[in-house]
Amino acid sequence: MQYPEPIAKLIESYMKLPGIGNKSATRMAFYTLDMDEKDVNDFAKALVSAKKDLHYCSVCGNITESDPCMICADKGRDQSKIIVVEQPRDVMSLEKMREYRGLYHVLHGVLSPLEGKGPDDLNIASLLRRLQTNEAVEEVILATNATPEGEATATYLSRLIKPAGIKMTRLAHGLAVGSDIEYADEMTLLKAIEGRTEL
């Protein structure tokens, strides 16, 4: 049996989201039909607003409504440190900590030859320009994920930036707080041993 065209299009739209297959998309589409009309309109407005009103900061590449973003415009932040992350959502995660008061730079991905993503596809050129024009930067903290692509990207950036005499650091990787050693994989354990600290 064919679904009516409006529900079929809604299912198709939900399937465009990452990790959403046919079953999940169908369930979400029927859930949307059961929502109040006001909630559906608010949902639609939020989607349109997010796409229309947000853009990337010309300085760091984070998502923002204003340019530069609030973080880059805040002169009270520590101008000597920049954390380099893969995606804007990583900035949000680090900001939740409320401990780091430096700056950010968003790459919008990682080096991935299998997916055809090279240095020119990432926000690397603007990072290098930023480091050349801002003499206050003393440390670049690489916070790419602990994946082969994230490690390759961190290594690549380190080779580009180190000759400028800027201190390069990498976020520690290893065991999560509250995790058991017996359930950790070999790479996690290796990173935990390599990143051990003195007591």
Q: What is the pLDDT of residues 80-131, one digit of tens each?
A: 999 999 999 999 999 998 889 999 999 999 999 999 999 999 999 999 999 9
**113 and 29 in one domain?**
no
| pLDDT at 172 (0 to 100) | 81
**Do residues 98 and 147 touch, judged by C-beta distance below 8 A?**
no
Q: In degrees rounded to 5, what are phi and psi of residue 140?
A: -115, 120
| pLDDT at 186 (0 to 100) | 81
**Do residues 109 and 122 touch, judged by C-beta distance below 8 A?**
yes
| pLDDT at 82 (0 to 100) | 97
Domain of 46 in residue numbering reads as 5-53
Structural domain includes residue 15: yes
| pLDDT at 199 (0 to 100) | 55
Mapping DSSP to helix (H, G, I), strand (E, B) and coil, where does residue 56 land?
strand
User: What is the rounded average pLDDT of the residues 161-183?
Assistant: 83
Check pLDDT > 60 for residue 190.
yes
| pLDDT at 180 (0 to 100) | 76
Check pLDDT > 90 for residue 187.
no
> Across the strands, what pairs with 63?
56
Structural domain includes residue 168: yes
**154 and 80 in one domain?**
yes
CATH code, domain carrying 28: 1.10.8.420
> Across the strands, what pairs with 170?
142
Residues 6+ apart with CB under 8 A from 138: 80, 81, 166, 167
Q: What is the pLDDT of residues 28-85, one digit of tens each?
A: 999 999 999 999 999 999 999 999 999 999 999 999 999 999 999 999 999 999 999 9
Residues 6+ apart with CB under 8 A from 136: 79, 80
**167 and 88 in one domain?**
yes
**160 and 122 in one domain?**
yes
Number of domains in the chain: 2
CA distance 173 to 183: 16
CA dihedral 170, 171, 176, 177 (to 10 degrees): 130
